[in-house]
Amino acid sequence: MTAPMSPTSPRSEDERLVRRALAVAGDTPEGDVPVGALVVGPDGRELAAATNRREADGDPFAHAEILALREAARVLGDGWRLEDCTLVVTLEPCTMCAGAAVAARVGRVVFGAWEPRTGACGSLWDVVRDRRLVHRPEVRGGVLETECAALLEQFFRARR
């Protein structure tokens, strides 16, 4: 857990949180795509941090976002609603993870690199801002995009 947010600008705070998610991504198990996710409470306290673990766990649902959302709900202990919480991710969430953010009622989604092939927060789809849904979190994408994309590029370059 980290200390609560300091009184800084939202932009610099988002950058700080994405840097923290990048540090988390550095702990991704061998063979998994290096994505880090955090859930931060309304008071700025880090409730959960997770990496992708699909390969390590043999679980198609073990995306960093899903694991972080589950842990945050467990930490809060008052049900599944993560209202006023922020989901911070190094990569734009896919449809499953964007849907989970909506279902968990997170207040904000902040992410680093855009994902034009599978992104569901504005790239390929825009699940989180679909007007037919009851809940639509605020979204800020492209935070430290270059740094987040570089981590992924390095991973995929090494696999080729």
- Residues catalogued as catalytic: 65
Chain-centroid distance of CA 49 in Å reads 9
**Do 130 and 105 contact (CB within 8 A), yes or no?**
no
* Best CA proximity match to 56, nearest among 29, 23, 27: 29
CA 151/CA 160 separation, integer angstroms: 15
Question: Which of 60, 58, 59, 128 has the alpha carbon at shortest distance from 93?
Answer: 128
Are 127 and 95 in contact, with CB atoms under 8 Å apart?
Answer: yes
CA neighbor of 20 nearest in space, from 141, 119, 147, 115: 147
CA angle 15, 86, 144 (to 5 degrees): 20
